[in-house]
Amino acid sequence: MSDSDNETDQAPKVKNRRPVENSFTQQRLKAYHPIITPKTVIPLLLITAIIFIPLGAGMLYGSNQVEDLTIEYTQCESQAPMNRFAEIPDDYYDFRFKEDISIKPQWKYTVNLSESDPEENGLCHLQFQIPNDIGSPVFFFYKLNNFYANHRRYVVSFSEDQINGKAASLDAIKNTVGANCEPLSVDSNGTRYYPCGLIANSLFNDTFTMPKGVNQTSIDYDMTQEGIAWESDKNRFKKTAYDPSEVVPPPNWIKRFPNGYSEENMPDISTWYEFQNWMHPAGLPTFSNLYYRNDDDKFLEGTYEVVVGLHWPVKPFNGNKYIYITTRSIIGGKNSFLGVTWIVVGGICFLLAILFLIVHLVAPRKSGDTSYLSWKKEKDI
């Protein structure tokens, strides 16, 4: 018999789309099938309530232990009197201390004669009372409102190579996929900006003095900028490898560097913690960035003054600027939302448990025969 005859005798293969016979393809894997009955639901809801309500109460208590002071100084230039103190309107400040304040916050406006630019020579003097010792630690933030740093073009407008200290090429800062410095990569002469991009160009540059004791308070409160940036930023922000002649400051930095960069004034972003914080754009239009901190000393009772250098405009976009001084608790900063949420969820679970218990006692419903369940039948096969 020839080979051709053997091939003819073989039956043709029938195509079969049936899955392989195993537990996975036939959906017979072991699984937990909870049977929802009053005996399981009511205890589960009660246990959830017992756990959630005390935890929420603890979080709420911790949040209420945080003491803080917020003062808006947006309108200082237009509403504060020149060279004399006056009370700040009640709408512009808020505080939470163990003791009530006896002296309302005050402000005055002065002119910095050493500043040649009339748009940036304003000084806002803020005086406030700390009615009881607070801290430590104590944190000093600046807070902004109505500044939308989450716009996609803004968020990706930076150069990671420049931040890492590399002398990034023009192609790298303009054409890197995902994040690049456009539309602020080079100036009109084709020279690269350092640091380039929209985020760096809009750097918040109002200045703040440390709280100085005034009136009957003779002790100043020393604070530092060491440790205000994220710990991980030490590995990200590096001193640049650019030569000062290779780059120019961003457009909004010209007033700070009127003659460009030199060996003496080239910014070292590895130790510029304000810049590092600013390079983390906020996801919401209201946010705060840490400016000073003191982890060791209490902020003693007394009256203090902070002088704000007014450089960063917010009126063009109807924004607001604040100083925010706060302590922290075991759960962090002041945030009542988390504690309230846990209490509300626990309370709902408790009410549902009581409701189901009453219904079960008043009008009980006979449970079905679980032996008819499909997965129980399979065990019997």
Distance CA 62, CA 329 (A): 6
Tens-digit pLDDT profile for residues 215-246 = 888 899 999 999 999 999 999 999 999 999 99
Residue 39 scores a pLDDT above 90: no
Taking only Cα atoms into account, the Rg of the chain, rounded to an integer number of angstroms, comes to 33
Residue 268 scores a pLDDT above 60: yes
Tens-digit pLDDT profile for residues 53-98 = 999 999 999 999 999 999 999 999 999 999 899 999 999 999 999 9
Tens-digit pLDDT profile for residues 196-221 = 999 999 999 999 999 999 988 889 99
Structure tokens at 152: 């996609």
Q: How confident is the model at residue 377 (pLDDT cuts 50, 70, 90)?
A: low
- Domain boundary assignment for the chain: 66-148+201-229+278-328, 158-196+238-271
Statement: the pTM of the whole predicted model exceeds 0.85: no
pLDDT score of 261: 92
> Per-residue pLDDT averaged across 274-293, rounded?
94
Q: Which of 140, 119, 135, 134 is nearest to 273 (CA)?
A: 140
Q: Which of 180, 201, 184 is nearest to 192 (CA)?
A: 184
Residue 311 scores a pLDDT above 60: yes
Residue 330 scores a pLDDT above 80: yes
Tens-digit pLDDT profile for residues 102-155 = 899 999 999 988 877 778 889 999 999 999 999 889 999 999 999 999 999 999
Across all residues in the chain, what is the average pLDDT?
A: 89
Q: Give burial (CB, 10 Å; 0-12/13-18/19+) of 305.
A: buried
pLDDT score of 23: 79
Partner residues linked to 322 by β-bridges: 72, 143
Of residues 63 and 2, more confidence is placed in 63
Distance CA 303, CA 210 (A): 13
Name the DSSP letter for residue 31. -
pLDDT score of 16: 75
Check: CB of residue 76 under 8 Å from CB of residue 315. Answer: no
